[in-house]
A and B are shown apart, each in its own frame.
Chain A
């Protein structure tokens, strides 16, 4: 794999309010019935969107004001539940390149790293402020900066956090781990040779 460094993501944002938004809501299970990830973006938040539409409301992902956004803004424990990579795949295929949230489920976070899509954290006040800003002015341009560890909106800057290893992986382009894991395969074989249970079977 070619090394692709992720230092900065800039663009318009999509505010998605709510805690504990699970991966079944992001991409309902019936859309996992496929042997590829192609077209998943067409079903992103499909059930949530349709239910809001029935009430005469719009889900942010179906709101033309936020079309073309590259940064997703979320609240607490985003992506909890099922480990389906289809969830971050659908988000990324819809054009999102970074997610700023109060917190993320661990599996979702790891899956997003593997796609080169950083999930960075900021506090509640920051998210609330950024969401409010984008809701009132959808053309607001944000910058998620992994070098300086800030999210910027115009001249305003807010601190973000990201575990050190994940940050390194984005900055040095090692977020696609396969090559790295195969790098020193003799060491892998050494570990395998000292595991007693591999000798039993």
Chain B
């Protein structure tokens, strides 16, 4: 009987079964950033422990960096303290840090793949729930907390429970104006925000197979929003083509040998799954969230739900969300006025995302009442976009063109919503207060939909733009 990628990678990295029944799993790549690590390094010091595999941990700075004025010291003293702590900790432990002067700094989930650090068959951990992004390469990648960061630094291992695997096959062609972002929002809406608890999601089917690495990363990135700590795509030629020539990818003959090994790590055709779900790509339409979790979404041409039509806790949840958002039951999401447009985050800040947004923006202008910003996921994304002149397209249209970082996705930096502002956002979470204002409101959507909303000043259906006509 065949095995899944998850099973193969898990077995390969298993050190031993612990007395309590958990698995001691070796972590092949540990990515760190400034927010969830200073306490971990302090715990190590308090216990007199060192970092055992310093060359398997790689650091960057992303959450707290200002995206406008990145000169040091940062104006925000706390932000400066956090980066200084990271610098000190990395220096003492001998861990590589890609900082603002490196030319490759950016959101940790953007730069790992960009540098070729992220590879098929690895176990990857990072103190950030969107670590599932790296699963796009056929790695088993997941978010951890700070005590677990301590454990990985100390031992390069974690104590974990095994996961079940749910295969989600997306088959058929996506319609015009429908993106990877819409696919993952559809999956979360259908399976629920806790449907994936206890599972790794294996994304498969011809629609996934046709996707670029950027698109696969968007899908895997939001696995956690569906409750699945791990999401992955089996590695294939698209994966190998992306990795070839990257800084930390194997080079020359070693690369060909690696491809052989990577092919073998993919799920076998006769692998068995704990659950299977089939999604028809053609049925998916551009999707927008209307509520306070990523499962609360509708197609752009649908109406919002009414609590009256629901029972029990669903009724309470929908009622609470509508109240917070200030939306009427049964109203349309299309036409909702926005105040802010944000293209960025580890979900959608890669070059292809910026290109899609730029296509819509070119020759148009941001609505007068909207403040709009584009925040590239990394310094290399920013540089590549500038080589193509995308920065001019955005700036001419009235967007701010910023430095790389997490920016307004979670607002641990100066980029924040104010008051009750409504933000059309290409990020991943629409939780209450997520974008920095406790009463701010987030509508998640694809970068193209954000760009279209920025121009119109309200939520629109990208399919109605002439670019998407037949």
Q: Residues of A with Cβ closer than 8 Å to B?
A: 1, 18-20, 22, 24-25, 28-30, 32-37, 47-48, 50-51, 75-77, 80-86, 88, 103-107, 110-111, 114-115, 163-166, 168-169, 172, 174, 176-178, 180-182, 184-185, 187-188, 191-192, 194-198, 200-201
Contact = CB atoms under 8 A, between A and B. Distances in A.
B431 A81 contact: yes
Contacts of B317: 18-20
A85 B147 contact: yes
Contacts of A105: 194, 197, 227
A33 B157 contact: no
Contacts of B91: none
B102 interface: no
A106 B198 contact: yes
A168 B78 CA distance: 40
B434 A191 contact: no
Interface in B352-366: none
Interface residues of B, number: 85
A135 B144 CA distance: 34
A197 B258 contact: yes
Given A32-B35, A114-B147, A196-B261, A47 B21 contact: no
Contacts of A188: 15, 24, 26, 52, 155-157
B248 interface: yes
Contacts, number: 218
Contact of A191 (B15, B21, B316): B15
Nearest to A201: B248
B197 A24 contact: no
B438 A28 contact: yes
Interface string B51-70: 01101100000011000000
Given A47-B433, A111-B145, A18 B320 contact: yes
Nearest to B131: A83
A15 to B, nearest CB: 15
Contacts of A106: 197-198, 227, 229
B204 interface: no
Nearest to A124: B313
Contact of B258 (A81, A84, A88, A196): A196
B198 A83 contact: no
Contact of A76 (B39, B155, B159, B313): B313
A200 B252 CA distance: 11
B122 A75 contact: no
B161 A163 contact: yes
B145 A197 contact: no
Interface in B261-280: 261
